[in-house]
Amino acid sequence: MSSAKSTHIVDINLTPVAFADPPLLNAVGVHEPFAIRTIIEVVTDSGAYGLGETYGDEAHQNRLTLAADALIGTDIFDINRAREAVEAALAADATAGGHGMSGMITDSSTLDRVFSPFEVALLDLQGKILGVPVADLLGGRVRDRVDFSGYLFYKWAGHPGFPDDEWGEALDPEGIVRQAEKMIDEYGFTALKLKGGVFPPDEEAAAIEALAARFPDVPLRIDPNAAWTVETSIRVAERLDSTLEYLEDPTPGIEGMAEVRAAANMPLATNMCVVAFAQLPDAVAAGSIDVILSDHHFWGGLRRSTTLAGIAETFGMSLSMHSNSHLGISLAAMLHLAGATKNIDYACDTHWPWKNPEDDVVVGDPFSFVGGALEVPTRPGLGVELDRERLARLHQQYIDCGIRNRDDTGYMQKFDPEYRAVAPRW
C-alpha cells in the first residue's frame, strides 16, 4: 500500500471548536459555558478525508500543529511510521500542560495524547478506502451494540446570569434522583455513575443510597476524582459496600488506591492513577486497581487501546471506558473500539446527554440510544461525515467564547473567590 500515491497525506486541517456545556460540578470546580475540542481532518491526494477529535487546549493544539506538519507525505496505511514522525516532531517540544483534564492528576503520555486523533483519522480513511467500518480494522466486531452508563452530575440550575437549562438544579440526593429519572426516561440507561468530589462524602454517599432505593436493579458507581483521603475512602467504601458495582478513583495515586483496594469489598476503577502504559507495571505490582477505564484520546488511539485491553486481560483486570465532554467523531471512535474489544466488562461512560444534538460537527444525528445502548456504526470508516456548516458555526463559537484552556477551577473562583482545587479535600 505504501506505494499507492492516492493514500498519501497532502493536507491536515485542525479546527478548534466550542459547544455549549451546562454548569456541571466536579472535584476541581465547575464546567464553563463552553467545552472546547479540536477537529482533525486528514486529506489524501485522492481527495478523501479522515476525521479525528481531541482536546482543545492551546498547548495541545500547538503540539497537534507540529504533528500535522510532520505527517504530510505519510501513507495513511503506515500508522507505525506516522507515529514515529509525530514522536520525532514532539521530541524537540518541551511545552508543558494542555492536557485537557482540568487540573486533575494526569501523567498520560504526550505522544499518545497527540498521536491519538491522527491515528483515528488514518483508520477512518483506511476504512473508507477499503469499504469497511473501523471496527473491522480493529479485528472485527464482537458486539453490535455498546452499553453506556447514565453520567450524573451535581449541577447548578444554569450558568450564573443565564436562564436555567433543561436539566435544572441537582445539589442534593433528591436532585440527583430527579436527574437520573430524566436520563433513564430519555436514554434508557441500565447503569448510573455519579460524579462526586463536590460535597462532603457522606452527602454523596446518601445520594448513592437514594439512587439505590429508587433504582434497586441499576448498577451504581461514584467517582470523586481522588477528592478523598485513604481513610475517608475506606469509610465510604464500607458504607456503600452492598450498593456500588465499582468505586472509581476515590483517592490519589497508585499507593493510595492500593490501600483502599486492600480494605474495600467492591472493585476499584481508575482513569486517574493509571493513564499511560508506563504506569501499568507499578499499578499491577501494588495491586491498585480492578478496572481500567480506557480512553483512546490518551491511550494513543484505537490500536493502542486494544493493546491495553490485552494487558488488562493478562493481569486479570476488567475494562471499561472513560469520557470527557465530546462530540460525535469521538463517540463514533468509542463505539468502534468498544465494538471490537471483547473485554469491555462494564457499561462505558459518555457525556453525550449533556450536549445539544445540534451542537456537533457531524452530519445529522446519527446516534440514537435504545435501552442505554448505541449501535456500532456499519458504514465504512468511522461512519460519520463532516458537516462543514456546523463545523464553521462551532468554530465561530470557539472564537466568540474566548475560552482557550479548560479551567473549571478558575470559572468556579469567579463566583467563589475562596475556592481552591485540592486533592484530597476530605
Q: Which residues are catalytic?
A: 195, 322
Q: Give yes or no for residue 323 binding ligand GKR (CB under 6 A).
A: yes
Q: Are 204 and 212 in contact (CB under 8 A)?
A: no
Rule CB under 6 A: say whether 26 interacts with ligand GKR.
Answer: yes
| CB nearer to ligand GKR: pick between 298 and 398 | 298
Angle at 285 between CA 284 and CA 290, to 5 degrees: 35
Q: How many helices (H) and strands (E) does the chain have?
A: 13, 14
The DSSP H or E segment spanning 84 is helix 79-91
**CB of 116 or CB of 225, closer to Mg ion:** 225
Q: How far is the CB of 322 from ligand GKR (least distance, A)?
A: 5
Q: Which residue from 17, 40, 64, 101 is in contact with ligand GKR, where contact means CB under 6 A?
A: 101
Question: Going by DSSP bridges, is the β-strand pair 49-55/145-147 parallel, antiparallel, or unpaired?
Answer: unpaired
Site mask for Mg ion (CB under 5 A), range 196-225, x = bound = ---------------------------x--
Residue type at position 224: P
**Integer Cα distance of 8 and 378 in angstroms:** 25
Looking at 26, 271, 288, 325, which residue binds Mg ion (CB under 5 A)? 271
Residues in contact with ligand GKR, shown as a per-residue x/- string from 273 to 292 under the rule CB under 6 A: --------------------
Q: Which listed option, ligand GKR, Mg ion, none, makes contact with residue 406 (CB within 5 to 8 Å by class)?
A: none
24 residue type, one letter: L
Stretch that binds ligand GKR, among 48-56, 76-84, 320-328, 360-368 (CB under 6 A): 320-328
Q: Which three cell numbers stand for residue 216?
A: 434497586
For the segment 199-228, give every residue that binds ligand GKR (CB under 6 A).
223, 225
Give one DSSP letter per residue of 17-57, joined into a string: EEEE---BEETTEE--SEEEEEEEEEEETTS-EEEEEEE--
CA dist 305 and 302 (Å) reads: 5
Is position 290 an interface residue for Mg ion (rule: CB under 5 A)? no
Q: Which residues bind Mg ion (CB under 5 A)?
A: 223, 248, 271
Q: Which residues bind ligand GKR (CB under 6 A)?
A: 24, 26, 101-102, 195, 223, 225, 271, 322-325, 349
